[in-house]
């Protein structure tokens, strides 16, 4: 009997590829740049399973082009590039990677929060540019305290809860707004539920950890930025389009809010001439939230196990549309 054919759209670490090779013949897209939509359709045309990243659009056109496809495994927890509903209609399970990267992403959120509050990136840029002229001045480089400040978490899922856990170590007053109120987490993490406008008004730091959906697109735009404190700091580790970039630029430029730190932008990568890059009160990292080696390896292995399970016709460890198993 011929072995199943798997398509892996980006080079993975060998341990993860080995897992897939035990279940299938594997075709790995070798370039750093992703295949175009057309190339992806061509590559997927004979595939039984495909392992994707956030840069690959998995839509009806791709699924049409891949008649043998019986599993999609996404190397990420965010699925905004995958039409999960369309996959479900076709009975195709979609794997994803919860549980293995939330801590690393929360670590990065906290790095951004601390960096923005205490102006580490901004002052380091100044030092390198020869701007450290006085040994010390009582009124220079004043930032904000993190300890005992109020943190507002928007989206109390896996990442949001890990951000809360870290914030407790800094004695922060933690409030949250999320689609579904979570009383058990309120007790476990010492967080208080408030309505979204109240969170924006009360928080010294607003941290975004929601998925990108039609409801969260531009969740933070001009009216929401106007509700934040002038000393407020916005942290985004979710997806770029959750924040309206033009409104953020104007709010930072005009001192409507004090600072922002983004791990995600719209678009990605950010254009070199994007006005946001002219602002000193903004820190941007290139979507590195989960880019810590042990977590990334675990993420790759989970995505590989999901793919291999799907190819064997077994249930995946982490499936975004488990209803396909009930329908089968
Ligand atoms: P998660 O566990 O699913 O948590 C998301 C939370 O957001 C859930 O509590 C969810 O509520 C809530 N939510 C959904 N829609 C909402 C809305 N309209 N308003 C308010 N809250 C809403 O996901 P996660 O693992 O924490 O990841 C969150 C997102 O972070 C991912 O989808 C991905 O886009 C992004 N991410 C980024 C990086 C990075 O490298 N920067 C790394 C990993 C993930 P319910 O409880 O009702 O579902
Ligand atoms: C990364 O952005 C993820 O969604 O896992």
pLDDT in tens, 224-264: 999 999 999 999 999 999 999 999 999 999 999 999 999 99
Distance 94 CA to ligand 2 centre (A): 15
Q: Can you tell me the distance from the alpha carbon of 158 to that of 222, in angstroms, rounded to the nearest whole number?
A: 28
Closest Cα to atom 1, ligand 2: which residue?
76
Q: Can you tell me the distance from the alpha carbon of 268 to that of 186, in angstroms, rounded to the nearest whole number?
A: 34
- Contact indicator for 152, 173 with CB cutoff of 8 Å: no
- Contact indicator for 203, 232 with CB cutoff of 8 Å: yes
Q: Can you tell me the distance from the alpha carbon of 296 to that of 220, in angstroms, rounded to the nearest whole number?
A: 29
Closest Cα to atom 16, ligand 1: which residue?
179
Q: Is 226 a catalytic residue?
A: no
Q: Which atom of ligand 1 is nearest to the CA of 215?
A: 18
**Mean pLDDT rounded to a whole number for the chain:** 97
Q: Which atom of ligand 2 is nearest to the CA of 96?
A: 5
- 114 shares a domain with 231: yes
**Catalytic residue (one of 38, 226, 268, 280):** 268
Reading the block at residue 194, the tokens are 């408030």
- 146 shares a domain with 18: no
CA–CA distances in Å: residue 119 to residues 30, 92, 114, 140, 142: 39, 47, 8, 11, 8
Neighbours of 311 (CB within 10 A): 22
Task: Assign 327 a pLDDT band (cuts: 50, 70, 90).
Answer: confident
Give the pLDDT confidence of 139-163 residue by residue, as tens digits: 999 999 999 999 999 999 999 999 9
Task: Assign 38 a pLDDT band (cuts: 50, 70, 90).
Answer: very high
- 235 shares a domain with 110: yes
Q: Across residues 120-143, what is the average pLDDT?
A: 97
- 108 shares a domain with 89: no
Q: Which atom of ligand 1 is nearest to the CA of 105?
A: 42
- 171 shares a domain with 73: no
Beta strand pairing call for 49-52 and 5-8: parallel
pLDDT at 84: 98
Q: Give the number of the ligand closest to the Cα of residue 237.
A: 1
Instruction: Check pLDDT > 90 for residue 68.
Output: yes
Q: Which atom of ligand 2 is nearest to the CA of 239?
A: 2
In sign, the C-alpha dihedral spanning 136, 142, 145, 151 is negative
- 158 shares a domain with 42: no
- 177 shares a domain with 272: yes
Q: Across residues 109-114, what is the average pLDDT?
A: 98
Closest Cα to atom 3, ligand 2: which residue?
76
Our mutation pick for probing the ligand 2 site, out of 82, 105, 162, counting the most ligand atoms within 8 A of Cβ, is 105
Distance 44 CA to ligand 1 centre (A): 29
Instruction: Check pLDDT > 80 for residue 285.
Output: yes
Ligand 2 pocket check for 101: Cβ under 6 Å: yes
Distance 73 CA to ligand 2 centre (A): 13
Q: Can you tell me the distance from the alpha carbon of 259 to that of 146, in angstroms, rounded to the nearest whole number?
A: 14
Reading the block at residue 238, the tokens are 């979710």
Domain residues for 302? 5-99+293-327
Distance 133 CA to ligand 1 centre (A): 44
Our mutation pick for probing the ligand 2 site, out of 108, 290, 306, counting the most ligand atoms within 8 A of Cβ, is 290
Q: Name 130's Cβ contacts closer than 8 Å, sequence gap at least 6.
A: none
Instruction: Check pLDDT > 80 for residue 312.
Output: yes
Q: Across residues 22-46, what is the average pLDDT?
A: 97
Q: Is 239 a catalytic residue?
A: yes
Task: Assign 2 a pLDDT band (cuts: 50, 70, 90).
Answer: confident
Q: Can you tell me the distance from the alpha carbon of 241 to that of 215, in angstroms, rounded to the nearest whole number?
A: 11
pLDDT at 229: 98
Instruction: Check pLDDT > 80 for residue 1.
Output: no
- 319 shares a domain with 267: no
Q: Is 137 a catalytic residue?
A: no
Q: Can you tell me the distance from the alpha carbon of 313 to that of 246, in angstroms, rounded to the nearest whole number?
A: 46
Closest Cα to atom 5, ligand 2: which residue?
76
Q: Give the number of the ligand closest to the Cα of residue 52.
A: 2
pLDDT at 289: 98
Ligand 1 binding residues, C-beta < 6 A: 77-78, 98, 101-102, 105, 155-160, 178-180, 209-213, 215-216, 237-239, 263-264, 287, 289-290
- 297 shares a domain with 273: no
- 131 shares a domain with 55: no
Distance 156 CA to ligand 1 centre (A): 7
pLDDT at 129: 97
Instruction: Return the closest-CA partner of residue 116 out of 264, 270, 231, 288.
Output: 231
**Catalytic residue (one of 165, 239, 259, 296):** 239
Residues listed for the chain: 328
- 66 shares a domain with 54: yes
- 136 shares a domain with 186: yes
pLDDT at 202: 98
Closest Cα to atom 1, ligand 1: which residue?
157
CATH number at residue 173: 3.40.50.720
Strand ranges (E), 34-112: 49-52, 71-74, 94-95
Q: How many domains does the chain have?
A: 2
């Amino acid at each position: 009997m011929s072995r199943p054919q798997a398509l892996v759209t980006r080079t993975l670490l060998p341990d993860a590829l080995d897992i897939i090779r035990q279940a299938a013949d594997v075709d790995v897209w070798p370039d750093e740049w992703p295949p175009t939509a057309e190339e992806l359709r061509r590559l997927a045309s004979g595939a039984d399973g495909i392992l994707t990243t956030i840069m690959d659009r998995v839509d009806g056109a791709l699924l049409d082009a891949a008649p043998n496809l019986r599993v999609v495994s996404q190397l990420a927890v965010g699925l905004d590039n995958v039409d999960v509903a369309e996959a479900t209609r076709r009975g195709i399970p979609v794997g994803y990677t919860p549980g293995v990267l939330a801590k690393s992403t929360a670590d990065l959120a906290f790095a951004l929060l601390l960096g923005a509050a205490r102006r580490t990136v901004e002052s380091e840029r100044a030092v390198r540019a020869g701007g450290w002229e006085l040994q010390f001045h009582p009124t220079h480089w004043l930032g904000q305290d993190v300890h005992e400040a109020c943190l507002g978490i928007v989206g109390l899922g896996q990442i949001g809860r890990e951000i809360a856990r870290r914030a407790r170590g800094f004695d922060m007053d933690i409030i949250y707004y999320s689609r579904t109120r979570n009383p058990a987490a309120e007790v476990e993490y010492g967080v208080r539920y408030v309505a979204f406008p109240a969170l924006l008004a009360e928080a010294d730091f607003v941290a975004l950890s929601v998925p990108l959906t039609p409801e969260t697109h531009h969740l933070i735009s001009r009216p929401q930025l106007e509700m934040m404190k002038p000393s407020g700091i916005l942290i985004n580790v979710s997806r770029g389009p959750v924040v309206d970039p033009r409104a953020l630029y104007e709010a930072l430029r005009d001192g409507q809010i004090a600072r922002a730190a983004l791990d995600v932008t719209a678009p990605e990568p950010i254009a070199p001439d994007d006005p946001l890059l002219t602002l000193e009160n903004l820190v941007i990292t290139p979507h590195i939230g989960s880019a810590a080696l042990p977590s990334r390896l675990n993420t790759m292995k989970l995505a590989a196990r999901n793919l291999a399970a799907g190819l064997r016709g077994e249930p995946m460890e982490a499936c975004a549309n488990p209803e396909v198993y009930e329908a089968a």
